[in-house]
Amino acid sequence: MLQRPPRVAAIHDLSGFGRCSLSVILPVLSVMKVQVCPVTTAVLSTHTGGLGDVVVEDLTRMLAPTLAHYKKLGIEFECIYSGWLGSSEQVDIVLDYLRAYPDALAVVDPVLGDHGKPYRTSTPEHIRRMGELVAAADVITPNLTEAMLLLGEEYTGAPLRQQESRQLLSRLAGKGPRYVVITGADMADDHIANLGYDREQGQYWRIDCNYVPASYPGTGDIFASVLVGGLLGGDSLPMAMERATRFLEVAVRTTFSYGSDTRYGVMLESCLSWLTSPQTFERYRLL
Ligand code: PXL
């Protein structure tokens, strides 16, 4: 029996303004009773989503010595969770962390792009290297754009039918991960859904999202964090997906009602208590 909260090494950047990466991962997982140990890849003044000239300090040089220090201390992690990575060198280092903790749940959020387009930093080489990380993961959480980039497919924006969405999930699982979750999939039945696949159980899941006509940075980080917190707390895959989907709906609807600048992210502070309230699960369906 684990006599302490589960512990996660969160290998992410810290963007000071804009509510993404470690700024949201720390509060979300902490409130879900998970200990987060930030392994900070870079410090930025803001995220890179349209807030002007970002000030960046790369911290790659700290990452390998930090791993060596944790190993020397004999610190265990139940989960290694990576997200936005600034370079291929950082991909190598995340692979070293995964190898150093082979029993930990390996969660890779392959941050590469959104709305059908790769981010400026997502060169073909970076996409290929992110594919290597996906192959070493137990759980991946791409959005639909990232799923297509990882599969080397063109993003057409065409709505997905059941068979196509199942194929996308199983092809990604074929690269290695047991659990694949694709967020923000435009479905042929006019819903936007989060899709999941558990390769070992052979089961496909979907949770439809209530649409809000605005998009905010950091929502992928919040989704993956709630998913991680749920799985470490004993949720099944569809339960963890439903928890993450519904929490984001609360956060997005709260924020949208204020009409605030979308680049500032979602008003997480006002919503965190939702994560501590008991839930019943009634929205997940088989895909
Ligand atoms: O939320 C993903 C993310 C994380 N970190 C930085 C980013 C982004 C997305 O734009 O710019 C620095």
Sole residue written with tokens 């791993």 = 67
Question: Ligand 1: distance of its center to the CA of 2 in Å?
Answer: 33
> What average pLDDT score do residues 203-209 get?
98
Q: What is the pLDDT of residues 254-263, one digit of tens each?
A: 999 999 999 9
pLDDT band at 13 (very low <50, low <70, confident <90, very high): very high
> What average pLDDT score do residues 81-85 get?
95
Q: What is the pLDDT of residue 96?
A: 98
Question: Ligand 1: distance of its center to the CA of 163 in Å?
Answer: 31
Which of 109, 140, 144 minimizes the C-alpha distance to 218?
Answer: 109
For residue 54, give the ligand 1 atom closest to its CA. Answer: 12
DSSP character string of 62-94: HHHHHHHHHHHHT---SEEEE---SSHHHHHHH
Sole residue written with tokens 């070992």 = 200
DSSP label at 18?
S
User: Is a pLDDT exceeding 90 seen at residue 232?
Assistant: yes
Question: Ligand 1: distance of its center to the CA of 286 in Å?
Answer: 31
Strands 139-140 and 117-118: unpaired
Pairwise pLDDT comparison (230 vs 211), residue with the higher score: 230
Q: What is the pLDDT of residues 252-287, one digit of tens each?
A: 999 999 999 999 999 999 999 999 999 999 999 999
Q: What is the pLDDT of residue 121?
A: 86
User: Is a pLDDT exceeding 90 seen at residue 38?
Assistant: yes
Query: What tokens appear for 271 in the block?
Result: 């919503």
pLDDT band at 102 (very low <50, low <70, confident <90, very high): very high
Question: Ligand 1: distance of its center to the CA of 122 in Å?
Answer: 12
18: left (phi over 0), alpha (psi -120 to 50) or beta: left
Cβ-based neighbour number of residue 163 at 10 Å: 8
Q: What is the pLDDT of residues 161-180, one digit of tens each?
A: 999 999 999 999 999 999 99
Q: What is the pLDDT of residues 105-115, one digit of tens each?
A: 999 999 999 99
Question: Ligand 1: distance of its center to the CA of 217 in Å?
Answer: 7
Using CA atoms, how far apart are residues 35 and 113, in angstroms rounded to an integer?
28
- Contact residues for 214 (Cβ-Cβ < 8 A; gap 6+): 252, 255, 256, 262
**Residue 236: φ, ψ to 5°:** -70, 170
Q: What is the pLDDT of residue 12?
A: 98
Pocket residues for ligand 1 (CB within 6 Å)? 13, 15, 20-21, 44, 47-49, 84, 111, 217-218, 220-221
Using CA atoms, how far apart are residues 235 and 90, in angstroms rounded to an integer?
30
**pLDDT-above-70 percentage for the chain:** 100
- Contact residues for 211 (Cβ-Cβ < 8 A; gap 6+): 192
Contact 242, 207 (CB under 8 A): yes
Using CA atoms, how far apart are residues 274 and 268, in angstroms rounded to an integer?
10
User: Is a pLDDT exceeding 90 seen at residue 3?
Assistant: yes
> What average pLDDT score do residues 206-220 get?
95
- Average pLDDT of the chain? 97
For residue 220, give the ligand 1 atom closest to its CA. Answer: 1
Q: Chain-centre distance of CA 78, in angstroms?
A: 17
Q: Chain-centre distance of CA 286, in angstroms?
A: 22
Q: What is the pLDDT of residue 120?
A: 85
The overall pTM is greater than 0.95: yes
User: Is a pLDDT exceeding 90 seen at residue 86?
Assistant: no
